[in-house]
Amino acid sequence: SRQAIKPFFSQTKFAANQGSPDVSEPPAIASLIASLQMLTHIEGGYFVETDRDPLLIRSPFPLDAASQRTLELVAQQNQQRQQQLPQQPPPALQRPGFDPHHRNASTTIFYLLTPSSPQGNFHRNRARTVHTLHKGRGQYVLIHPDGRIETFVVGQDVARGEKLQWIVEGGIYKASFLLPDRANGNGEELGESREGLLISETVVPGFEFCDHDFLTRSGLMELVSADGAKQLESFVRL
């Protein structure tokens, strides 16, 4: 049976853009963000790219009309970002010298959800992503290309079915939200997440914005039933 999907945090703030952290976080989380030099992520939460394999491989993704359009859109948005804040331009969406026929063999990021930025909104990549948990708990919601909804909990309690590792294949829409910690011993859910949800994500072949897109409201309506769309619309950014 389909599980009800309810965000734990009623007040959902998400980072509007990729850039300097501007939300106030509790000291332990602020210190983690500073130590790892994380930025706000356009999906919500924080991230930092920790590895980009210098090995270039031929892109396995066809440069069809749709991906040409995405490339142009990314280039346009990139230009707008540079013009908006000439003193302090936000990080580029398209890396200088990027050749759409090639990809780095892999990229890896840290990704963090916190009580102030507790959700990652629905998006997909053309490449597959390998996720590894470091700390905290979270709920994942996937929408497969045929409209099937899959949900699971990531966390340390493997005996209760929580995942330490999870793979999301290319083309699947993914959203995530922070869950409260479990008490040591009895495993009961506590009222809060003290240190957020910290994971690593390795994208193969490597991440590029032109391989990434957000789910829109109309896209959601096309994929799932009206009932499903109602439950999931709070995870749609556009």
Burial of 47 (0-12, 13-18, 19+ CB in 10 A): buried
Q: Smaller CB distance to ligand GUN: residue 14 or 47? A: 47
Q: Are 78 and 92 in contact (CB under 8 A)?
A: yes
For tokens 């997440």, name the residue.
193
Q: Are 151 and 231 in contact (CB under 8 A)?
A: no
Residues 129-188 that bind ligand GUN (CB under 6 A): none
Map residue 132 onto helix, strand or coil: strand
CB of 169 to ligand GUN, least distance (A): 16
Kindly tell me which residue out of 59, 107, 116, 193 binds ligand GUN, with binding defined by CB under 6 A.
Answer: 107
Q: Smaller CB distance to ligand GUN: residue 126 or 181? A: 126
Residues 43-82 that bind ligand GUN (CB under 6 A): 47, 49
Kindly tell me which residue out of 29, 32, 74, 109 binds ligand GUN, with binding defined by CB under 6 A.
Answer: 109
The Cβ-side half-sphere exposure at 155, using a 13 Å CA radius, reads 25
Q: Smaller CB distance to ligand GUN: residue 130 or 221? A: 130
Q: Are 61 and 228 in contact (CB under 8 A)?
A: no
> Vertex 121, ends 110 and 233: CA angle to 5°?
165
Stretch that binds ligand GUN, among 41-49, 161-169, 180-188, 220-228 (CB under 6 A): 41-49
CB of 53 to ligand GUN, least distance (A): 11
How many chain residues bind ligand GUN (CB under 6 A)?
A: 7
Largest Cα separation within the chain, whole Å, is: 55
Q: Are 14 and 235 in contact (CB under 8 A)?
A: no
What is the rounded CA–CA span in Å between residue 141 and residue 110? 19
Q: Does 18 contact ligand GUN by CB under 6 A?
A: yes
CB of 163 to ligand GUN, least distance (A): 19
What is the rounded CA–CA span in Å between residue 43 and residue 109? 14
Q: Smaller CB distance to ligand GUN: residue 2 or 95? A: 95
Kindly tell me which residue out of 8, 140, 173, 207 binds ligand GUN, with binding defined by CB under 6 A.
Answer: 207
CB of 211 to ligand GUN, least distance (A): 10
Q: Smaller CB distance to ligand GUN: residue 204 or 224? A: 204
CB of 43 to ligand GUN, least distance (A): 7
Residues in the chain: 238
Which residues contact ligand GUN by CB under 6 A?
A: 18, 41, 47, 49, 107, 109, 207
